[in-house]
A and B are shown apart, each in its own frame.
Chain A
Amino acid sequence: MSKVKINEERMFGVIKTLVALLIALGITFVVLCLTAEDPLSSFIIMLTGPLTKLRYFSNVLETMTPLVFTALACAVLFRAGIFNLGVEGIFFICGLVTTYVATKISIDNNILHPFVAIALSGIMGGLLMLIPGWLKAKFDTNIVVSTLMLNSIYLGIGLYILKERLIASDISTTASELFMESSKLPYLFSGTRLTVGFFLALVAAVLVYIMMNKTRLGYKIRISGQNAEFAKYSGIAAFSLILLIHFISGFLAGIGSSVELLSFYDRFTWTKISTHGSTGMLIAMMGNNRVVPVMIAAFGISYLKIGAEIMSRSTVVPVEITSIVEATLVLLISSQYFLRHIREKRLLKEGIANG
């Protein structure tokens, strides 16, 4: 494969994703035709809405912020060939770490306070992700199964902690006490709700990019993801590598959770696993686990979400219409994965046939 072909292949990937997107939009339009009174204008509102006001566009970047973290958390692991589904569980439970710091520990400094919350959340996320990582490295357990189970466990434990330790006394719903003002992340600009969290997401993306493409760690991740036997033969120790990337992934997920809460919430209100993790996974897949396309995909998905929200405000169409787009994209892209898998198998076979 020459450089030419790599580009060609990239183009191919971009085209496939665009086609998937077009199909998804097409299906959405059909659904709109069946439900909305004025499908065409609803559709146009959905597609252009986010560009009509600065606030709307800011909403897109706000939605994107936690998704960048979860998508990167997934991409790091997927790139190494580890299909870990645990990001959403980590995202949930780390929210409680943040909540604890934001409600129980008073630090009278509005830089230090969120910093402590984010850092602890990230470290906790990293440590918790080590559990499935260790099980995989040590016993080669099926990571899909172990992480799915852990997600349920984290949800249970999280809810227990929420109800027993952090529950609000001033309201009747299941939620934590109000976060202290000093813990919240400062806004980036006046007039929007975009916070420093968005900036952190960009920094995280740059760091992950550098890690994946410039460092020895990234090299090891890429090689292991492409042929584990080859990595072993080359002297790349799987054990420490698996642990390390699990920590990094959990760390990113934990930070993402913390950033989300301290940017856009007044109290912890999740009583079930949020969709941040699964959407992040979708985005990682769309971007083929590479940082730049992942960022583009994160932006695209967020854009659609906000577009649908704007549309639902001005029409009778419910915001859930985005789930149609998302579901279609998941289907198309995972089948794309499937196709690629077949293609790679074929390539391998050809390689063999080639002698």
Chain B
Amino acid sequence: MKETILELRNITKVYHNGVVANRDISISFEKGEIHSIVGENGAGKSTLMKIIYGIESPSEGEIIHKGEKVKFRGSMEAIHAGIGMVHQHFMLIPTMSVVENIIVGDEPSNIRGIVDYKEAVKRTRELSEHYHLDVDVLSKIEDLSAGEKQKVEILKTLYRNAEIIILDEPTSVLTPQETETLFEELFKLKEMGHTIIFISHKLNEVKRISDRITVIRSGECKGTFENDEVDLLQLAELIVGRKLLSSYSELKKDVDDKKEILRVEKLYLSNKEKNILENISFSIRSGEILGIAGVQGNGQSELVRAIAGIGPMSSGEISLSGQRIEKLSVKKRRELGLSYIPEDRLGVGVATTAPLCDNIISSYYDRADINGHFFMDRRKISETANNLISKFTIRTNSIYTAVGDLSGGNMQKVVVARESNTDPICMLAEQPTQGIDIGSSEYIRTQLIEMRNRGAAVLLISADLEEVLSLSDRVIVMYNGMISAHLSNLDKISTNDLGLYMLGIRKQTSDELKEALYE
């Protein structure tokens, strides 16, 4: 029998606004296990983790740590007790070095109280070697890849002697390779006796690394299972409480009148040193989903931003339904039927301090159906907001809730709901399901397919290869700011081949690439 290191007993959390985020949850964590917590958006996973980490205090219930009842009054006390947490989005200072980020708040100092930088570097190096978390400790955070940043975050907790490490959706920003590396590292940590609490919406990851899995639905614990007790489908059903689609291809309908909707030709974006985007040409017809595969940071973001009109481009042509749009304002482009789900939802996709009802109409606030002659029509706006809330099952107290108070996945739903509500003829969907639970992901994907079936053109950018392959009609691969492949026969493509294109090892000829333009 393994030894229990941390035990939650009957934890209930009621937020000040009356949301019951956790309801009578009891879980025990064993020393040296990888324990996954799964559940839909807003189920209360992050809240529970914050309670363990001392950022939130439970309204009821108790926490037993190493046999003793504890009450952390802040993360400092939790850290002191050997608990570390890696938040979903990085909490690192980009302009500082790895060492500085790791030691901040707990610097080794010499007798005179001055930070002993050499000692810090030495200790950090030792740490990274000891735990096989290889990263150049002197480089700046901003120069690191997502995977390396993740390592730094973990090192940060280890530097503070964490025995229990909480990872809140660590893989949502990682490429498959980086995820695999992370898992190897987690296995090693586990062998060394650390306890890992892992949160993810990707169930195959959960199945791959967990010893035990706890399912939370609507704030309630639906049970803890040994990994081999449940298979993927059962797990999915436990989480959403119903069966899920197994394939999207059945949903697709053929669209008769295939016109060209979006056409991008010879698009360039360069800074002083190099081309960030080089000779990008492709076309999407109505009733088509074009996926862009590629490791994040190969120009995909810049490309969509240029098409949407919020980012720069150096030269090239963009047409929407035959009309040139590259010089038009964002507003004009939107009026022509362009919609955009941006990757950076907190910075670009919503105003966190504004109420949901303001957020959910921003891209069509002046449309006739929610406006009177002179004034905006409050009643119609609440009607619209409430409709979208129920259609997209957004979990919120009311339409006046500030979007920043929603759980991450529900924020994303606000964005998707708004962008779908304009009947777009061209949808730019950038990471549309990032951080979204399986049930809602399915819903959003079905929405994209429905748009396609209605005759819209969809450009899908996703780090999730499976998503790209299962939704798209054609795929282009981007590498280093260029299109390295155009693939129209997706059944014949293996993920392995795709990987070669994504890593720039293989590249199609320019004749083959012309097909992206239907030429």
Measured CB to CB, the residues of A under 8 A from B are 1-6, 8, 210, 214-216, 219-220, 222-223, 226-227, 229-237, 344, 347-355
Q: Which of A222, A230, A344 contacts B348 (CB 8 A)?
A: A230
Q: Once bound together, how far apart are the Cα atoms of A213 and B274, in whole Å?
A: 47
Q: Once bound together, how far apart are the Cα atoms of A4 and B351, in whole Å?
A: 20
Q: Restricting to B330-376, which residues have a CB under 8 Å from any CB of A?
A: 330-331, 333-334, 340, 342, 346-355, 358, 362-363, 365-366, 371, 374-376
* Minimal beta-carbon separation of B380 from chain A (angstroms): 13
Q: Once bound together, how far apart are the Cα atoms of A5 and B351, in whole Å?
A: 18
B349 partner residues in chain A, CB cutoff 8 A: 230, 233
Q: Which of A8, A210, A219, A348 contacts B16 (CB 8 A)?
A: A8
A2, B17: Cβ atoms closer than 8 Å: yes
Interface-facing stretch out of B143-151, B181-189, B404-412, B467-475? B404-412
Q: Once bound together, how far apart are the Cα atoms of A224 and B386, in whole Å?
A: 24
* Minimal beta-carbon separation of A11 from chain B (angstroms): 12
Given contacts A5-B401, A349-B91, 9 further A-B contacts (CB under 8 A): A1-B397, A1-B401, A2-B400, A214-B374, A219-B365, A230-B351, A233-B308, A347-B353, A347-B404
A227-B351, A355-B168 known; A216 vs B362 contact (CB < 8 Å) = no
Q: Once bound together, how far apart are the Cα atoms of A19 and B333, in whole Å?
A: 50
6 A-B pairs whose Cβ atoms sit less than 8 Å apart in the complex = A5-B405, A226-B353, A231-B351, A236-B331, A237-B329, A354-B408
Q: Restricting to B279-325, which residues have a CB under 8 Å from any CB of A?
A: 308, 310
B88 adjacent to chain A (CB < 8 Å): yes
B342 partner residues in chain A, CB cutoff 8 A: 233
B88, A5: Cβ atoms closer than 8 Å: no
Q: Once bound together, how far apart are the Cα atoms of A229 and B365, in whole Å?
A: 16
B169 adjacent to chain A (CB < 8 Å): yes
Q: Once bound together, how far apart are the Cα atoms of A234 and B308, in whole Å?
A: 10
Q: Which of B16, B169, B363, B400 contacts A355 (CB 8 A)?
A: B169
The A contact surface, by secondary structure, is helix
Q: Once bound together, how far apart are the Cα atoms of A131 and B65, in whole Å?
A: 63
A214, B375: Cβ atoms closer than 8 Å: yes
Closest to B366 in A: A216
A236 partner residues in chain B, CB cutoff 8 A: 331, 362, 365
Closest to A214 in B: B375
Q: Once bound together, how far apart are the Cα atoms of A354 and B172, in whole Å?
A: 13
Q: Across the A-B interface, how many residue pairs have beta carbons closer than 8 Å?
A: 134
B340 partner residues in chain A, CB cutoff 8 A: 233
A235, B88: Cβ atoms closer than 8 Å: no
Closest to A349 in B: B91
Q: Once bound together, how far apart are the Cα atoms of A235 and B331, in whole Å?
A: 4
A235-B331, A355-B46, A355-B408 known; A6 vs B351 contact (CB < 8 Å) = no
B203 adjacent to chain A (CB < 8 Å): no
* Minimal beta-carbon separation of B272 from chain A (angstroms): 21
B17, A4: Cβ atoms closer than 8 Å: yes
Q: Which of B351, B398, B407 contacts A354 (CB 8 A)?
A: B407
One digit per residue, 1 when the CB lies within 8 angstroms of any chain A CB and 0 when it does not, for chain B 376-387 equals: 100000000000
* Minimal beta-carbon separation of A242 from chain B (angstroms): 15
B352, A351: Cβ atoms closer than 8 Å: yes
B32 adjacent to chain A (CB < 8 Å): no
B219 adjacent to chain A (CB < 8 Å): no
A351, B371: Cβ atoms closer than 8 Å: no
B363 partner residues in chain A, CB cutoff 8 A: 234-235
Q: Once bound together, how far apart are the Cα atoms of A229 and B17, in whole Å?
A: 28
Q: Once bound together, how far apart are the Cα atoms of A310 and B466, in whole Å?
A: 78
Q: Once bound together, how far apart are the Cα atoms of A236 and B405, in whole Å?
A: 24
Closest to B47 in A: A354
B333 partner residues in chain A, CB cutoff 8 A: 235
* Minimal beta-carbon separation of B353 from chain A (angstroms): 5
B376 partner residues in chain A, CB cutoff 8 A: 214-216, 219
Closest to A344 in B: B353
B346, A351: Cβ atoms closer than 8 Å: yes
A2-B401, A219-B365, A347-B404 known; A352 vs B16 contact (CB < 8 Å) = no
A351 partner residues in chain B, CB cutoff 8 A: 346, 352, 404, 411
B435 adjacent to chain A (CB < 8 Å): yes
Q: Which of A2, A6, A223, A235 contacts B358 (CB 8 A)?
A: A223
A355, B89: Cβ atoms closer than 8 Å: yes
Q: Restricting to B133-157, which residues have a CB under 8 Å from any CB of A?
A: none
A230-B350, A352-B87 known; A216 vs B371 contact (CB < 8 Å) = yes
Q: Once bound together, how far apart are the Cα atoms of A236 and B331, in whole Å?
A: 7
Q: Once bound together, how far apart are the Cα atoms of A236 and B335, in whole Å?
A: 12
A232 partner residues in chain B, CB cutoff 8 A: 310, 330
Q: Which of A2, A216, A352 contacts B365 (CB 8 A)?
A: A216
B347 partner residues in chain A, CB cutoff 8 A: 227, 229-230
B371, A348: Cβ atoms closer than 8 Å: no
B18 adjacent to chain A (CB < 8 Å): yes
B27 adjacent to chain A (CB < 8 Å): no
B310, A353: Cβ atoms closer than 8 Å: no
* Minimal beta-carbon separation of A227 from chain B (angstroms): 4
B87 partner residues in chain A, CB cutoff 8 A: 352-353, 355
B89, A229: Cβ atoms closer than 8 Å: no
B50 partner residues in chain A, CB cutoff 8 A: 353
Q: Once bound together, how far apart are the Cα atoms of A353 and B397, in whole Å?
A: 21
* Minimal beta-carbon separation of A47 from chain B (angstroms): 35
B402 adjacent to chain A (CB < 8 Å): yes
Q: Once bound together, how far apart are the Cα atoms of A214 and B366, in whole Å?
A: 12
A8, A210, A234 pick with most chain B CB within 10 angstroms = A234
Closest to A234 in B: B362
B354, A237: Cβ atoms closer than 8 Å: no
B16 partner residues in chain A, CB cutoff 8 A: 5, 8
B435 partner residues in chain A, CB cutoff 8 A: 355
Q: Which of A226, A230, A353 contacts B91 (CB 8 A)?
A: A353
